[in-house]
Amino acid sequence: MKRYINLSLRIPTTRLYTYSVPEHIKKNLIGKRVLVLLKQKKAVGWVIEEIDRPDNLEIKEIITVLDDEPIISPQSINLAKWTAEYYLCGLSEALNLFIPPSLSQKPITYIEKGSIEITKASPTQKLILELVKEKGRVSLSTLKSRVPSPYSCIKKLSAKGAIKVISQVKPLPEIPKEIKAKEVAKDIPPVLSPDQKEAIDKIRLCIEKGSFSTFLLYGVTGSGKTEVYLRAIEDVIKRGRSAIVLLPEISLTTQLIERFKMRFGAECAIIHSRLTTKERLTEWQRIRQGCPVVVGARSALFSPSKNLGLIVVDEEQSSSYKQENDPRYNARDTAVMRAKMEKAVVILGSATPSLESFHNSQIRRYERLDLPERVQKSRLPDVEIVDMRSEKTPGIFSQKLIKAIEETVGSGHQVILLMNRRGFSNYIQCYDCGSIPGCPNCDITLTFHSSDKRLRCHYCGFSSSAPSVCPKCNAERIKYSGFGTQQVEKEVLRIFPKMRVLRMDTDTTKKRLSHQEMLSLFAEKKVDCLVGTQMISKGLHFPNVILVGVISADIFLSLPDFRAAEKTFSLLTQVSGRSGRGEDYGRVVIQTYNPGHYAIQTAIHQDYSLFFQKEMEYRRELLYPPFSRLLSLILRGENEEKVEKEAERLSEVLLVNNKEDVHILGPAPYYISKIKKNYLYQVILKTPDYKRLHRLLLACDFKPASGVSLIKDIDPVGVV
């Protein structure tokens, strides 16, 4: 009986393509690559499923099978299907998450000698035959560089049997033995605290049963969550299963990675965004061959781990788990789905859980495990608020913070200063006409950077030299307003000329020293004061830091984002947790213009449950998650009028088809109405049941006019 298979082809459509399998191929093909003809062109397809009978009987046969063994497992295919459906993207896009980029390359075409000798040949044909004879086998690209326009000749020669044309994919890399055997100094696991023990016992029970369940490990900063992860992983490995640990990207360069390496040595694959394509493939192959622990950023969730037993998502509230381009998946939520499919255990860890996860623990969808105290009984730091409105001389630093820095450094300790904005001034403004230079490609003001005296757009990268006169009215008086990390660094040096200051943000880590080198300098106490953006707020453990200063707690609060308070509370709690991790008491000084805001008030006392309670009231009132699910629809295009018209049309279609009482908000210009020369309009859908969102979208079947694209973002985490 003829076999039929459905393929995913790397073209932007969601549908699968059906082909038939030649009689002589008997093996199971699911998860393998095959070569097919699509519109007269060779294309690589991934075999997704076998089907009984095609709808259409004019089915082409595949040309060849490119892999001996499946590259993607049936479990991965299932998860890709779910991802595509839930996050409203194409299956091939979802499959891409599982495949290292180098494996989706086209196969290489080779020319070999055929079985038939011919005597008559044109000059070009002769050239080809000579080359093949000389080398035995020539790749098409080499041949093309030697013989101009060879295609018709290749076709003729191969039809006559004088040459053979073969397509082959690069073989998967062999993993050298040295990596496997490399010895790494192992650490000695500490004796668990009673709370840690209780948590790990509960997790162990589930691992033993081999059933799916999700834990929310809720523990203050420094409460030993990482140790709980490490023990759970050990347990999983003992049972011959594997584990995936997800960390926010910025934690990946830090000490946290070292702890995993020290515990698991060479049994630990590490995946981050700075790996080269080749390194990525090597790690992927190692995992596929049974490396039991994977540590990485969100994309590591899609690793080919065998017999998965555990997924850890550290700092589960982090917005870095959401991918901001297609497929717009959230690795935390997808992790729970993967674990469910593979009967694994999930640990979501945080000192400040997302409202969604904490709510899930309250309704018993997740089981909560508490670590309410710091392990070494070190006290949580004292948090003090400075009301910047009542400072006598307004500037970057309050008198209180200056004094605290002086005392701290004077006693041989170190300081961390958080300024959640890079650059020098936030923007420049003309005193006379009030105009502020903006980006020509985006609807956003440009940020002044003092190191090279340029204005930069943090969205598209545009830059221009800072004008000395106003570009609008030619006045010479230009005001520098707001400030960023660069100015904080400069101001520290102005007040304390002898201080050893190091600035860490995406501008500096691209240059001179790497992230790691900077942190080493700080760890070796060669630096007194570390100034940085939120990249310094997480995961760092420096016992000598007894002061954390937050220059401005208000930056998130000013964004039009329903999670503004959550992000503020989380950031303040995280960064506060960097203080007093050693023997000495820590202090935190938070400067703000909104001292009464509940996010700041609750952060002072590190009172998550009060914050949760207040924030839930607000979310309930406005029907925001966890009381609803959101779908953000964004129309994007270069012609503003057209984008607006399409946005209007979209919301009309939605209204007409809205049978299930979904809230439809908009259309309205996106909060940044233009990015990279494209205008953006947004429609937001809100409803308690996400299935309604899917159903409504499906019923609408909306296709934007040409020149306009539609971005569908379910469970958005950015500004909505």
Residues near Zn ion, by CB under 5 A? 439, 441-442, 457, 459-460, 462
Residue 414 binds which entry of Zn ion, ligand ADP, none, with Cβ cut-offs from 5 to 8 Å by kind? none
Residue 195 Cβ vs ligand ADP, minimum distance, rounded to whole Å:
9
Residue 363 Cβ vs ligand ADP, minimum distance, rounded to whole Å:
25
Residue 113 binds which entry of Zn ion, ligand ADP, none, with Cβ cut-offs from 5 to 8 Å by kind? none
Residue closer to Zn ion (CB basis): 383 or 442: 442
Binding of ligand ADP by 231 (CB under 6 A): no
Residue closer to ligand ADP (CB basis): 281 or 293: 293
Residue 82 Cβ vs Zn ion, minimum distance, rounded to whole Å:
36
Which of 45, 150, 222, 580 forms a contact with ligand ADP (CB under 6 A)?
222
CA distance 464 to 454: 6
Residue closer to ligand ADP (CB basis): 249 or 391: 249
Residue closer to ligand ADP (CB basis): 221 or 682: 221
H or E stretch at 530: strand 529-532
Binding of ligand ADP by 541 (CB under 6 A): yes
Two structure tokens written together for 62: 């595949």
Q: What is the DSSP string of 669-685?
A: EEEEEEETTEEEEEEEE
Residue closer to ligand ADP (CB basis): 424 or 522: 522
Residue closer to ligand ADP (CB basis): 7 or 369: 369
Residue 219 binds which entry of ligand ADP, Zn ion, none, with Cβ cut-offs from 5 to 8 Å by kind? ligand ADP
Residue 580 Cβ vs ligand ADP, minimum distance, rounded to whole Å:
12
Report whether the peptide linkage leading into residue 626 is cis, meaning its omega lies within 30 degrees of zero.
Answer: yes
Could you tell me whether strands 293-296 and 242-246 are parallel, antiparallel, or unpaired per DSSP bridges? parallel
Residue 443 Cβ vs Zn ion, minimum distance, rounded to whole Å:
9
- How far apart, in Å, are the Cα atoms of 618 and each of 534, 563, 695? 26, 11, 28
What is the length of the chain?
720
Those residues whose C-beta lies under 8 Å from the C-beta of residue 332, and which sit 6 or more positions away, are: 246, 313, 316, 321, 348, 357
Which of positions 180-219 make contact with ligand ADP (CB under 6 A)? 190-193, 196, 219
Binding of ligand ADP by 447 (CB under 6 A): no
Which of positions 370-389 make contact with ligand ADP (CB under 6 A)? 375-376
Residue 248 Cβ vs ligand ADP, minimum distance, rounded to whole Å:
13
Residue closer to ligand ADP (CB basis): 109 or 378: 378
- How far apart, in Å, are the Cα atoms of 498 and each of 285, 415, 502, 558, 560? 51, 14, 13, 35, 40
Three-class DSSP category at 75 = helix
Residue 226 binds which entry of Zn ion, ligand ADP, none, with Cβ cut-offs from 5 to 8 Å by kind? ligand ADP
Burial of residue 622 (CB within 10 Å: 0-12, 13-18, 19+) is exposed
Binding of ligand ADP by 225 (CB under 6 A): yes
Q: For the packed helices 194-209 and 225-238, what is the interaxial angle rounded to 10 degrees?
A: 30
Residue closer to ligand ADP (CB basis): 378 or 435: 378
Two structure tokens written together for 354: 């997302």
Strand order in the sheet with 3-9: 17-21, 3-9, 41-51, 33-38, 64-65
Residue 439 Cβ vs Zn ion, minimum distance, rounded to whole Å:
3
Residue closer to ligand ADP (CB basis): 377 or 703: 377
Binding of ligand ADP by 224 (CB under 6 A): yes
Phi/psi zone of residue 325: left (φ > 0), alpha (ψ -120 to 50 degrees), beta? beta
Q: Long-range contacts made by residues 613-616, C-beta under 8 angstroms, separation at least 24? A: 615/355, 615/565, 615/566, 615/569, 616/355, 616/359
Which of 221, 323, 533, 552 forms a contact with ligand ADP (CB under 6 A)?
221
Contact stretch for ligand ADP (CB under 6 A) within 220-228, 582-590, 603-611, 619-627 = 220-228
Residue closer to ligand ADP (CB basis): 500 or 541: 541
Residue closer to ligand ADP (CB basis): 217 or 680: 217
Residue 376 Cβ vs ligand ADP, minimum distance, rounded to whole Å:
6
For ligand ADP, how many residues bind (rule: CB under 6 A)? Answer: 16
Residue closer to Zn ion (CB basis): 256 or 457: 457
CA distance 202 to 196: 10
Two structure tokens written together for 641: 């009028």
H or E stretch at 141: helix 140-146
Q: Residue holding tokens 């998946």?
A: 329
Residue 222 binds which entry of ligand ADP, Zn ion, none, with Cβ cut-offs from 5 to 8 Å by kind? ligand ADP
Residue 242 binds which entry of ligand ADP, Zn ion, none, with Cβ cut-offs from 5 to 8 Å by kind? none
Residue 221 binds which entry of Zn ion, ligand ADP, none, with Cβ cut-offs from 5 to 8 Å by kind? ligand ADP
Residue closer to Zn ion (CB basis): 463 or 639: 463
Burial of residue 389 (CB within 10 Å: 0-12, 13-18, 19+) is exposed
Two structure tokens written together for 2: 């003829």
Residue nearest to Zn ion (CB): 457
H or E stretch at 538: none
Which of 92, 96, 125, 226 forms a contact with ligand ADP (CB under 6 A)?
226
Burial of residue 596 (CB within 10 Å: 0-12, 13-18, 19+) is exposed
Those residues whose C-beta lies under 8 Å from the C-beta of residue 300, and which sit 6 or more positions away, are: 244, 245, 246, 271, 294
Residue 447 Cβ vs Zn ion, minimum distance, rounded to whole Å:
10
Which residue type is seen at 157? L
Q: Please give the residue ranges that form the binding site for ligand ADP (CB under 6 A).
A: 190-193, 196, 219, 221-227, 375-376, 541
